[in-house]
Structure 1
Amino acid sequence: MKMSPTIAAASALMFILSGIPSGATHNSLARDPVGAALERTMTVDAWPAGLVAVRSSGERVRTYASGVVELGLPDKVRADSQIRIGSNTKTFTAAIVMQLVGAGTISLDAAVETYLPGVIRHPQVTGHDITVRQLLQHTSGLPDMDGDIGDHLLEWQHRYISPRASLDLAFTHPVSNAPGASFAYSNANYILAGLIIEAVSGRPLAEEIDKRIVIPLGLDDTYFPEQGEQVIRGHHPHSYIPLGDSPVDFTDFDPSWGHAAGAMVSTTEDLTLFYSALAHGDVVADAQLDEMHKTIPADSLWEGAAYGLGLISFEVSCGVTAWGHGGDVPGTVSRVAATEDGRAAAIAVTQNATSIEADARLRGLIDTAICSP
């Protein structure tokens, strides 16, 4: 895909770097490997905007922004912009489940029926057949509703759907495998996990996310949208879906179908703080983090990926294991990873990828950010 003149004119790389000496020059910043990698994917893949945050093990944070707030207008995107984080929401959901496991409120190997009696109404399986662990590791075999919505995005843009109705939609499809047999990614798993959190806590999921993660970590720009909320609260770039000959603005939409699997909003800097804290053992206790780190092969995501409980692990070029996730929602793609020594990186771009090569470049940028000094 060629870069349009509008994007080319507006995509001169803009840096906002915390901790860089005040005398640093543009040329010294341009030699930064993360900035160079961002500039390359912006040029090659023609993203309207790209945002990156990199957190060192010493808590120094560098943030980068490239591109424009809205196609056709000159305003440059800010590095602290809020974006929809899609399936990175799953890691927040899994972390809360594991906190409740640590408190003895939930058992990982208990049947879903224990907490949500009668909710799994599928002709092939019931809540008696599937455990909480299988939900978090995507080994339940439950089908997804993603195609029902993803194939009709414009029809669903401003339509609300409840979590239970989302599940009913998913359950019209056959299971992918017997529970526990293999990895098969499905948003239904995490919608169920969110409902379990609400059932055992007696409180809304958004409130539990605030109380247990957002407020303790000081994630000031992170939130779970209220019912019916379609507009991102803070300053944010427009986001686009590649439909037809030109991008379609999909900035405002109802994320209810994502629920605990993909509805949250954050910033790249907040994401690095959350994933770094999680990797460092500051979000769930060590015993529960060990459970989250028990992985199975997940090559259907990409070659070399392994899935734990709400975390994807993969090896990076500097010889360490990174733990993170990714999020793809209409108009926004994000990738996040952290290492056990506290390093973390997050990237977000404001249009969906149209090739595996473009997605690989985003993952390569994460590798560069984790492994560069």
Structure 2
Amino acid sequence: MKVLVLNAGSSSIKFQLFEIAGWSVIASGNLSRIGEADALFTFRWQDANGQAQQLDEQQPLPTHHDALERMVAQLHATGALTDLSELKAVGHRVVHGGEAFHQPTLIDDDVIAAIRQVIPLAPLHNPAHLDGILVARELFPGVSQVAVFDTAFHQTMPRTAYRYAIPDYLYREHQVRRYGFHGTSHAYVGQRAATMLGRSFDRTHLITLHLGNGASATAIRNGSSVDTSMGMTPLEGLVMGTRCGDIDPAVLLYLMQHLEMDHAQIDQLLNRHSGLLGLCGVNDMREIHRRIEQGDTKAELALGIFCQRLKKYIGAYTAVLGEVHALVFTGGIGENDAETRARTCAGLERLGIVLDETANRSHAPGERLISHADSPIKVLVIPTNEELEIARQTFEAVGARL
């Protein structure tokens, strides 16, 4: 039995095909620049001898339908999928489920209508996800399709965490509230952390930090999200690659009144030109470290602001949880950037967070403990695997039918 995971964007599709037995990846890849003359198709698989192979080709792929047809043809050509009957389910990443979806959901016409209804909450993402769902239903008739929502894991937040202090009708009539994102990542690393600690997930209290170009923090109590840094949109919270994170709302009024910026300009400013990019001109943390070594004061400031915001959320979520068993770093920066981890944890010893500098600076791959043996709160590095989490949740959603 096999599960295909799709993550459809406006001009791209990422995919992984899993064998359910052992959850091994049979094939993976991505289709990018869909709609352009030089669309790129990357396909990775293992041949009959178990050797890793990769195909890279450029060709016109006018639509998502054309792109997925090319993917299916390559799955057949390599033997990764000899017949569609082997495919028991397709799992789709969907960024926003609003308040309607608390768990992975079998897709039918009503679910499609509900995803379409919350497009105003995620106008850059949900339309593309719908394109992928509609094409997959056409190409894989009779195969169960499941939507796995980035927001679902955070639907356990209490009202005190997800409501904004604004007039009640804005929530009741317009769904203005905090939703949170990166839910599949936080859920995955949270479960892995509990396993590393020798605890059951439903008896574990964690602070998880997903740090990449997009970044978010989550407080997990007894396996459930009780607070998270992103809000109604992914703009709120931590400093990110190009997003500002938390900001005084009056700044927007100032920009409108004194700089005569309209909503489109402000949207671009805060989402595309702020964060690390706005502070020092680059949003790649590796380049920021290189510039710091060369004496770049703007890069030094950008890193300082990034880590300061992280400290604030760690402190806040320690207070929210009352007891914390582990602090977890994941995402491209969280997994690979020892300096950022060190700066973030520096000075938090009185909270119970004490790093082992040797373990932190080690380049050992995979899951690892980087806190000192005497640290009351364990500090873990856990590579995230959102595709695997989507595959597992997809399997669980259709398990009774497999």
Which TM-score band (shorter chain)?
A: under 0.3
**Higher strand share goes to which structure?**
2
**Higher helix share goes to which structure?**
2
- TM-score with structure 2 setting the length: 0.26
- TM-score with structure 1 setting the length: 0.28
Q: Which has the larger radius of gyration?
A: 2
